[in-house]
Amino acid sequence: MPTLAVIEDLVVAFPDTEGRRRLVVDGVWLDVEDGETVAVVGASGSGKSLTILALLGLVPAPGEVVHGHVRLVGVDVRAADEATLCGLRGRTAGLVQQEPSANFNPVQRLWRPVSEAAKRHGLVSGVKERRALAADLLAEVGLEDAPAMVDAFPHQLSGGQRQRAAVAAALAARPHLLVADEPTSALDSVSQAELLRLLGRLRHERGLAVLVVTHDLELATATGGRMLVLHAGETVEVGESVRLAKGPAHPYTQALLAGRVVPSAPAELSRSRCRFVDGCPRAMPRCRQARPALADGLEGGLVRCFLWSDTAEAAHG
Ligand code: SF4
């Protein structure tokens, strides 16, 4: 069985107002094994949501993936045609979107969107079967009175209930991987904790891998799996979340943990120096002369910093 999801040296570009190619992601590495939890954490503009879209072949035009390997269950996402990608979306990877409202059409009763992916992949047919599946899924994600809930409209649900229903919809085609993009950003702290517990339970009960994207380091740590830290369009640190929370290796992760305000992303993604050099309290002359490569760090982790490795990133593209 190939690794469930792999991204190697991803580069995503958008044209600027003068038509020049502007890099918005440049140097993201990510992998997710069957059944594991991975949290991708980064500030606004770090490239985390675009990374997820690239994984699913959904980078919106005029943006494009201009470099890197992207594979889902061994399928080359960049080379795959739309029919192949549609076969993967929902069935291999179910997506819970950032905006609760983006997951639902306001005029559709819940049973339709919740059972949609299962219908698209030929797992159910007919209204009766779809309603029954929706009721089962809504019950599985912990919504009370699920048989009645299938006829509710999205606006009749609380924010926490809507996100649970979005998770139910993402599970409908029995994916191996659940991708949740900022799933708790619109929720209060109680609902956030409940949603995290739900994701943990589903991973355990369904043998799912879970990929959570968040700006919240505390939340990323609470997922208890591996953590990837993104800064300025590149992966800067990878490691077990518990270890990272106790002893981060990269100065950017240290700044995030200390709650210091750090720049989200420079205007240009430099390839000739460290992108954190202007905010780094440990910067050395070398950090302005070359861009560090992602190299071995603490306890099997990876870190992109000259404090840990002398290796500089090879130029490409
Ligand atoms: Fe700081 Fe240099 Fe490491 Fe960049 S490479 S994080 S500037 S020490």
Q: For the segment 150-187, what is each residue's pLDDT rounded down to a tens digit? A: 999 999 998 889 989 999 999 999 999 999 988 777 67
Query: What number does the ligand 1 atom closest to the CA of 280 have?
Result: 1
pTM: 0.92
Render pLDDT for 119-137 as a digit per residue (tens, 0 to 9): 999 999 999 999 999 999 9
Render pLDDT for 185-203 as a digit per residue (tens, 0 to 9): 767 777 778 888 899 999 9
**pLDDT beyond 80 at 267:** no
**pLDDT beyond 60 at 261:** no
Verify whether ligand 1 is closer than 6 Å to residue 283 (CB atom).
Answer: yes
Verify whether ligand 1 is closer than 6 Å to residue 277 (CB atom).
Answer: yes
Which of the pair, 195 or 292, is modelled with greater confidence?
292
Report the C-alpha gap between 21 and 7 in whole angstroms: 21
Could you please report the per-residue DSSP string of 97-116?
A: -SSGGGGS-TTS-THHHHHH
- In the predicted model, what is the mean pLDDT of the chain? 91
Q: What is the mean pLDDT of residues 213-222?
A: 88
Query: What number does the ligand 1 atom closest to the CA of 250 have?
Result: 6
Sign of CA dihedral 266, 272, 278, 280: positive
DSSP summary character for residue 154: G
